Structure formats: C-alpha cells, structure tokens
Structure 1
C-alpha cells in the first residue's frame, strides 16, 4: 500500500528491505473520501498523518471573509500533514477529487524515525522537498508574470504526476479547476482564464474532461521558466543526468 511513499523516500537513496517493510507497517486501513472534503482543518491537532494513496488534494489557507490561497497541490504518495510534534497544523487540506487515504500514527512514525535514523533522514528530506516547492511558489508569486506563473504550476503538477507514474500519452488526471489555479497563482478568475487561453493558443496545453494534455513540453517549460531540479532527490538527480533520463524523454 505504501509503494509510492517508499518511492518518494528512495528518491534520496535506496532503502533496505527491512526499512521498506517498516514503512509498509506504518500504514493503516485505507478509506475513500469524496471530492471537496476537508480532511485536515487549520488549527486542529490529530493523532494521525494522512497518506494520499489515490486522487489529488490541495493545501490551503482561508481568510475570515472566505478568500483562499492554495499553497500546495498534492499527488499520490504525499503525506498530507507530515508533522510529528502533535502541534495543531496551520493549514487545511481538501480533496480535489475522490481520494483514497490511509492513516499513519504520528507516535509510531516518531518511534520508527528514532529507531532507524536513515529512515528519519529520508522523511526529513520529504519535508525539505515541500519547503523547496513553497520557495518556488513564493518566488513565482513575487517575480514571474501571470503567464509564467500558471505555466510553472502546470509543469510542476505534470512533473510530480509523472514521477508517480500517472502520466500516459502526455496526459494526466487534472481535477484542478480554473478557480483552483487562480487561488494558487494569486490571480483573478478572469485573468487566469486569459492565461489558459493563451497557453492553448500557443499550442502548449489542452485542458479537457478533467485531464491536462501537454502538447509541447519544451515550450511549456520555457513559458514557465521551469527547472525540475527542486523536485528531485540526490538519487533522482543522478538518474536524470544520465543519457535518456530527462523528464521529456519519459513523457
């Protein structure tokens, strides 16, 4: 059940068979959630983390007047709320589509990390990856044009879905609506619509039937000023550096 999580952890280096088994043993019974379900609530503490097994979700903050900022799009294999101290989270997580999630007891995870320091380092690096994504989003909000900002978000989601082996024939599931993109990019709905129309007109993407179709990956990368290095662990960067190991070659 924890295959994609283990793959994420092994992006930073191989795990021994007993380490993989220990991660598998952490994962509790899976449950199914409909779309638009708030799974994690800002300000609340919970005894379990949540591993996203299938589907897509998003992390967000919402002001008292209802204005929302999306700060992360989650893909299968992500832990939606990886905090070990038992402190209340300072964000919410909601489902974008039907999702299957499995609990991971925070106490058991903390014990495993104490017992197996190499696994502890791997989970720590997952947190570093989240921080790298947040920095990239912050940079985009402050310095990229609206066109580049949206293109970069599309590149990131596509690259992360591809890493989870969920891209086929240059397309992936994409339940992210125009309003979600607007809330992630800090744009109005009207401005986001114009950007998406421009990306389509330039032959870079199509969005239809809740799918993202990438027509020109190199062009989309250029439009978004996208460099996937911030998404990769050391082991993955070494693999990508080998001939034929690039993202476009795998699409």
Structure 2
C-alpha cells in the first residue's frame, strides 16, 4: 500500500493539543503527515513484542491495547489505546519492542515511517517536545495502572479505569455529557485490572446498582460523575491535560 496524505488524522492533533499548545505551522505539519493507512479487524496484532519496527502506528479509529503475555499464556493489558494515540512512539528511539499492541475493535491505523518523524522532530523542535511529553504521559499512565492493580480493590479498579477512559475520550472529542462508546469486553477489562471476568461482571453490576453508570452494549453513560471519581479514587492530574475542562 502506498504512502498517502490523509486528512483524517485530526485525532492526533486534538490529542497533542490536549497536552501541548501547538502553533499554526505545527498543526499544518500534522495535518499533512504522510502515512500508510490500513483497516485491521478486531483481535489482531498491530505489532508484536520483539519486533524491530521502522514505523510507528497512529490509531485513527477504534480501540486497541498494549499488552504482555506470560510464558503460561496469560495476558496483562497495560494500557488501552484510543484514537489519536501513537502507542509505539517509543520505537522511534528503542529498536526492539518490549510489548505487543493489538486491536480490541476494528481499527483504522496510520503507519508513520520513522524517518518522517525524525525529520519533523529536527525541523520542528516544539513538535519533538510535544511527542516527548506524550511519551512521558504514557509512562505516568503506566504508573497509575500499577497503583490500580496493586493497591486498589476490584470495585475501585474498574471505576478508576472507566473514569480514565471517559476523560481521555473527551480530550479527543469522542465523549460528551459523560457518555461514550466503549467497545471493551468484560474479559478485556479483566486482563487490564487483574480480576476474573466473573469478578468484573459483579463489579459492573454493583456500579449500576449504586446508580453510578449505565452500560448498554458498547455505550457507557456515567450517571454520577463525582461519585464514580470518588469510587475509583480518580484524580486526572496524571493525565497532565492542559484543558482542564476535559476532566470535569
């Protein structure tokens, strides 16, 4: 598939603008970013642990996840990847991937050659700083997830992840009025928060019964945002958003 200029990478621009103030010329560079766009079915790997990629992947639409697998075949999801995310941006400087990235729902993915990213970083130092900030925030999210899995009870874990997803989706324009599409299965939540699928189901039922959320199919509606944040001990500071209204 040939490289093309695609007009639909506005999620990347929105994502970066939620954490960094872009100038007009920097925004234009991102609008004209050359990439190879592919449609990938659900439950497929985009890149695998041990790969030596020559490009990074931008999630244009759909949901993906970063994960690792034990020798016994157990999967630990370490982050959910949303439109606007470049989950393997670190591969620009780290030659070998130490995690895998796979789709959760059908996705459209833009593959950006590393030489293109390097050229942009050299010509636009502030964009290099924006990408660096993005990877630092990814690391902050990983730290928060370690806290979530290691020290919080099941009810708190699921509440916290739901809060994070809603805030991150709002930042890229994919959630409003405390509601969003959420095509994540209970099994995938279980792999992310270290519980069984049965336990995840029980915790979601409890959140519903307590009047905090409504979950119908792939659609999440938060009925009491303040109580859900309290239940998950959620403080959005670790997301380092410049636009604080996204976390309100």
Task: Judge same fold: TM > 0.5, yes or no.
Answer: yes
Distance in 1, Cα, partners of 2:239 & 2:76: 22
Displacement of 1:25: 3.0
Cα distance between partner residues in 2 of 1:169 and 1:61: 34
Q: Does 1:43 pair with 2:59?
A: no
Aligned length: 240
SS, match of residue 69 in structure 1: strand
Find the counterpart in structure 2 of residue 53 from structure 1: 60
**What is the alpha-carbon root mean square deviation over aligned residues?**
1.5
CA spacing shift, 1:44–1:118, aligned 2, 3 Å: same
Partner residue, 2:13: 6
Counterpart in the other structure of 1:189: 197
The 2-side partners of 1:100 and 1:147 are apart by: 33
Q: 2: distance between equivalents of 1:217 and 1:78?
A: 24
> Whole-Å Cα distance in 1 between the matches of residues 94 and 77 of structure 2?
23
Q: Which aligned pairs between 1:71-90 and structure 2 lie closer than 5 A?
A: 71-83=78-90, 84-85=92-93, 87-90=95-98
Is 1:226 aligned to residue 226 of structure 2? no
1:173 equivalenced with 2:181 (yes/no): yes
Give unmatched runs, 5+ long, in structure 1: none
Q: What is residue 126 of structure 1 aligned with on the other side?
A: 134
SS in 2 for 1:94: strand
Query: Where do residues 208-219 of structure 1 align in structure 2 (5 Å cutoff)?
Result: 208-219=216-227
1:9-68: CA deviations, max 9, x gaps? 223432222212222333314221111111111111111111001111111001122100
Task: Give the 3 Å change call, closer, same or farther, for CA 27–214 of structure 1 in structure 2.
Answer: farther
* Distance in 2 of aligned mates of 1:80 and 1:137: 16
Once the two structures are TM-superposed, the CA of residue 190 in structure 1 deviates from its matched residue by: 2.0
Misfit runs of 4+, over 3 Å: 245-248
Question: In 2, Cα distance between the equivalents of 1:96 and 1:231?
Answer: 22
Q: Which residue of 1 aligns with 2:4?
A: none
Decide whether the 8 Å contact of 1:46 with 1:86 is kept in 2.
Answer: no
Does 2:81 match 1:70?
A: no
Q: Secondary structure at the match of 2:192?
A: helix
Give, in whole Å, the separation in 2 of the partners of 1:78 and 1:187.
26
**Matches of 2:171 and 2:191 in 1, distance apart?**
24
**Normalization by structure 2: what TM-score?**
0.91
The secondary structure found in structure 2 opposite 1:28 is: strand
